[in-house]
């Protein structure tokens, strides 16, 4: 058996293989509700053989959403449509996760395909669930002063910080009620927790700013609050921008320190990405973020997921064999090929066991044309 298609156990959860669909925002919700679009979009990855399907960044509070079209998990009414997705993923043998998120100063931005024409009338705006609100952040500093889509946020006070922590904990309870196998605390990509972590976004002088210890405080308090309400047998993940990819910003070494602290709290795996601040730049290339995963895995002694142009099956297998990650996560690659896991298993010498039973007669076609290749 290949490493990629060997099981992975985190607490009481055993993934059928080490492939993961990374969170991908769809901007297709109204008032945070999952729709048939989400059901079909996500369900096909379960059918396609992935081990873990992680739902997109889901706002833990109404104001936590990146846009008015974001998925939410900030009220009990969101549970039922999410549970429908979870149940289907489970029926296909996949584990289901959801990313708990707060956009911070990057909130209340536009949905790119809804321009002035789509929002011209009150009826159109109501149909799309259009909303606009005041974002919050660690400091009153815009994500990008040169981009009018980003507002100057209100700096969170003590009550606001408490609201954030409580929002994450309440969202985790709802995720458990919906049947999710894991939740992922989103502390990456320039969103609220990443904003507190990075000295490029955090200019506070209280206990949540200044030193590394202070800048990590909110992320650790959120993780601790989530772990306290999340069932002990279910794994907890966190997504980090391991580096801001910017001078004077958050570094790989900082992430190793944070990952150790998260592990001590009860986080079981780190989903390793990078960037997200306007100042940060990195040129994408195949496997370009794998060094971040390897550094955190080896430096903090914690399981990691690698992400970022990992479509090459043999390269993905080699990453796991070298001990640079425990999970291979695809986002756009999964969108391009929802059956990537099935096809990768075949390419690595496996069989059609990952196919849904309704489709397994496809092997008869191979007797004439040969197995699928990647």
The residues annotated as belonging to the active site are 191
CB atoms inside a 10 Å sphere around CB 293: 28
Residues forming beta bridges with residue 208, ordered by sequence position: none
- Distance between CA 57 and CA 22 in Å, rounded? 10
Tell me the pairing of strands 154-155 and 136-137: parallel
CB atoms inside a 10 Å sphere around CB 312: 15
Specify whether the CB–CB gap between 262 and 255 falls below 8 A: no
Residue 99 φ/ψ, nearest 5 degrees: -90, 120
Tell me which residue has tokens 């990590």: 216
Let me know if 101 is exposed, middle or buried by CB neighbors in 10 A (0-12, 13-18, 19+).
buried
- Distance between CA 222 and CA 159 in Å, rounded? 14
- Distance between CA 68 and CA 51 in Å, rounded? 30
| Pick from 283, 207, 213: nearest CA to 245 | 283
Name the DSSP class of 169.
H
DSSP 191-255: SHHHHHH-TTT----STTSSSHHHHHHHHHHHHHHHHHHS-TTS-EEEEEES---STTS--HHHH
Token digits of residue 119: 């929002």
| Pick from 279, 290, 97, 99: nearest CA to 190 | 279
Specify whether the CB–CB gap between 276 and 244 falls below 8 A: yes
């Amino acid at each position: 058996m290949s490493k990629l298609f060997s099981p992975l156990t985190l607490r009481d959860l055993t993934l059928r293989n080490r492939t993961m669909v990374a969170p991908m925002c769809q901007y297709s919700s109204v008032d945070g509700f999952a729709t048939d679009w989400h059901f079909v979009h996500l369900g096909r990855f379960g059918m396609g053989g992935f081990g873990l399907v992680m739902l997109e960044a889901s706002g833990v509070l109404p104001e936590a959403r990146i846009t008015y079209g974001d998925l939410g998990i900030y009220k009990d009414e969101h549970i039922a449509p999410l549970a429908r997705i979870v149940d289907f993923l489970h029926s296909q043998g996949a584990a289901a996760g959801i990313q708990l998120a707060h956009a911070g100063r990057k909130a209340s931005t536009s949905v790119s395909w809804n321009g002035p024409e789509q929002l011209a009338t009150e009826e159109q705006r109501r149909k799309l669930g259009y909303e606009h609100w005041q974002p919050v952040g660690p400091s009153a500093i815009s994500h990008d002063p040169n981009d009018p889509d980003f507002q100057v946020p209100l700096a969170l006070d003590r009550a606001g910080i408490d609201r954030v922590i409580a929002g994450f904990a309440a969202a985790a309870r709802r995720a458990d009620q919906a049947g999710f196998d894991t939740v992922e605390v989103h502390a990456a990509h320039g969103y609220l927790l990443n904003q507190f972590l990075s000295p490029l976004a955090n200019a506070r002088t209280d206990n949540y700013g200044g030193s590394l210890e202070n800048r990590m405080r909110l992320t650790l308090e959120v993780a601790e609050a989530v772990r306290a309400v999340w069932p002990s047998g279910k794994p907890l993940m966190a997504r980090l921008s391991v580096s801001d990819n910017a001078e004077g910003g958050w570094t790989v070494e900082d992430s190793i320190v944070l990952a150790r602290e998260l592990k001590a709290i009860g986080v079981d795996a780190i989903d390793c990405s990078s960037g997200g601040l306007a100042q940060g730049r990195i040129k994408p290339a195949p496997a370009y973020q794998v060094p971040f995963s390897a550094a955190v895995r080896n430096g903090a002694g914690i399981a990691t997921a690698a992400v970022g142009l990992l479509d090459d099956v043999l390269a993905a297998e080699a990453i796991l064999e070298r001990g640079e990650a425990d999970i291979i996560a695809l986002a756009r690659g999964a969108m391009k090929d929802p059956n990537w896991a099935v096809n990768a298993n075949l390419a690595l010498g496996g069989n059609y066991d990952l196919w849904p039973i309704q489709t397994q007669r496809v092997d008869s076609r191979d007797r004439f044309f040969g197995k699928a290749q990647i």
